[in-house]
């Protein structure tokens, strides 16, 4: 594949200017694309765009497929008729220079809840049709992700390893009961994902109209507390209770005498081979629908992983294990 010499800028969307607590996919994102075009740039590198966990890192997400709903633009929701100006004007006093995630989560979840309630009452056949089409098209990952997030909410956001055994081990009767009892929360999660990808695809199309390509990011490892691991435990090196046998990291070096303990579960590559690495193929395909070019973070992990015993507190006792 031919890549002519070109330049670009790395900027995660959360770092865009915003009066709503965090950078988002609204007007400032479009202004940034205009800036890139004026500066004769070719690429916007965005880093991972997934829903972040409790460390707020885009490299530790609740899903390898879902989008970060904190990036949904409140102003675009006004344009769509899901919110009013008065509703978003009642925002907290967010700090100007950095993100207060605790304050942000409470407010953003609140306005997205309002948007969902308004959507439930809509009579627009067009909007409902687009939402249902999205849900059907993305069902392979969306159904389990939405259920995962709904159960987490009902379990005070605890990690899936701490859920009752029937839910943790995906007993079908327990899952069916959860789908029924948490039906509205599951639907709300799907709605938020629809909003994210609706806004993201509009921004991506605008980038293309300005001849800007988006460079995305696929972290080699994923978070233990994710819908992917919960759904596919056999594809990771886990104990029977869901805890990791080994976790990822890198060995000690000049910069760190104890190495880096990332804590991500390690893939069971032999198990993945049984279905021709379907999860990986679907992950890369989904990412390439979202961005134009993919960067794999820690590409070396496809050859070997620094495996650390699951209960260790540092990476010192790890070892390189070939894939």
Helical ranges in 90-182 per DSSP H: 101-120, 125-137, 139-154, 165-168, 172-181
Helix 183-209 crosses helix 278-290 at what angle (to 10 degrees)? 50
Residue 170 Ramachandran class (φ > 0 left, ψ -120 to 50 alpha, else beta)? left
Q: Residue 64: which pLDDT band, with cuts at 50, 70 and 90?
A: very high
Distance CA 48, CA 60 (A): 9
- The CA-based angle 315-11-262, given to 5 degrees, is 10
State how far Cα 10 lies from the chain centre. Answer: 18
Which strands make up the sheet holding 260-265, listed edge to edge?
Answer: 260-265, 246-250, 304-309, 319-322
Mean pLDDT on 136-145: 98
Other Cβ atoms within 10 Å of 201 Cβ, number: 13
- Report the mean per-residue pLDDT for the chain: 96
What percent of the chain is modeled with pLDDT above 90?
Answer: 96
For the record, the structure tokens of 198 come out as: 């609706």
For the record, the structure tokens of 85 come out as: 């100006």
Pick from 88, 80, 53: nearest CA to 68: 53
Query: What pLDDT is attached to residue 173?
Result: 98
For the record, the structure tokens of 315 come out as: 């990476």
- Strand duo 8-10 + 260-265: pairing: unpaired
State pTM to two decimals.
0.96
Mean pLDDT on 181-195: 98
Which strands make up the sheet holding 213-219, listed edge to edge?
Answer: 8-10, 43-45, 213-219, 293-297
Write the pLDDT tens digit of every residue in 251-271. 999 999 999 999 999 999 999
Q: Is 212 exposed, middle or buried (0-12, 13-18, 19+ CB in 10 A)?
A: buried
Pick from 34, 3, 1: nearest CA to 16: 34
Distance CA 154, CA 274 (A): 34
Under 8 Å between Cβ of 305 and 321:
yes
For the record, the structure tokens of 196 come out as: 């994210």
Buried b (16+ CB within 10 A) or exposed e, 230-254: bbbbebbbbeeebebebbbbbbeee
Q: Tell me: pLDDT of 123 over 80.
A: no
Stretch (H or E) spanning 268: none
Write the pLDDT tens digit of every residue in 13-28. 999 999 999 999 999 9
Mean pLDDT on 63-84: 97
Write the pLDDT tens digit of every residue in 33-63. 999 999 999 999 999 999 999 889 999 999 9
Instruction: List, in order of start, the domains of the chain with CATH numbers.
Output: 8-322 (3.20.20.80)
Question: Strand pairing partners for 296?
Answer: 218
Helix 183-209 crosses helix 27-38 at what angle (to 10 degrees)? 20
Q: Tell me: pLDDT of 124 over 90.
A: no
């Amino acid at each position: 594949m031919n890549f002519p010499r070109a330049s670009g800028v790395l900027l995660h969307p959360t770092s865009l200017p915003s009066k709503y607590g965090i950078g988002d996919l609204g007007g400032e994102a479009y202004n940034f694309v205009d800036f890139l075009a004026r500066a004769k740039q070719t690429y916007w590198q965005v880093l991972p765009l997934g829903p972040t966990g409790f460390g707020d890192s885009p490299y530790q997400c609740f899903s390898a497929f879902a989008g970060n709903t904190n990036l949904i633009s409140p102003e675009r929701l006004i344009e769509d008729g899901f919110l009013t100006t008065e509703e978003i004007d009642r925002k907290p006093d967010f700090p100007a220079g950095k993100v207060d995630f605790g304050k942000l989560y409470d407010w953003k979840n609140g306005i997205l809840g309002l948007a969902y309630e308004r959507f439930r009452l809509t009579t627009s056949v067009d909007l409902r049709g687009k939402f249902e089409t999205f849900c059907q098209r993305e069902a392979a990952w969306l159904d389990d992700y939405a259920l995962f997030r709904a159960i987490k909410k009902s379990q005070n956001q605890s990690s899936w390893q701490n859920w009752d055994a029937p839910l943790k081990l995906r007993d079908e009767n327990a899952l069916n009961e959860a789908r029924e009892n948490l039906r509205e929360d599951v639907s709300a999660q799907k709605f938020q994902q629809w909003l994210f990808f609706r806004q993201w695809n509009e921004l991506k199309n605008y980038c293309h109209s300005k001849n800007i390509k988006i460079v995305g990011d696929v972290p080699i490892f994923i978070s233990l507390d994710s819908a992917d691991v919960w759904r596919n435990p056999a594809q990771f090196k886990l104990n029977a209770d869901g805890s990791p046998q080994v976790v990822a990291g890198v060995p000690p070096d000049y910069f760190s005498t104890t190495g880096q303990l990332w804590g991500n579960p390690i893939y069971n590559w032999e198990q993945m081979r049984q279905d021709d690495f379907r999860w990986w193929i679907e992950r890369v395909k989904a990412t390439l629908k979202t961005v134009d070019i993919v960067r794999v973070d820690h590409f070396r992990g496809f050859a070997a992983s620094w495996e650390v015993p699951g209960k260790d507190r540092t990476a010192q006792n790890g070892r390189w294990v070939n894939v």
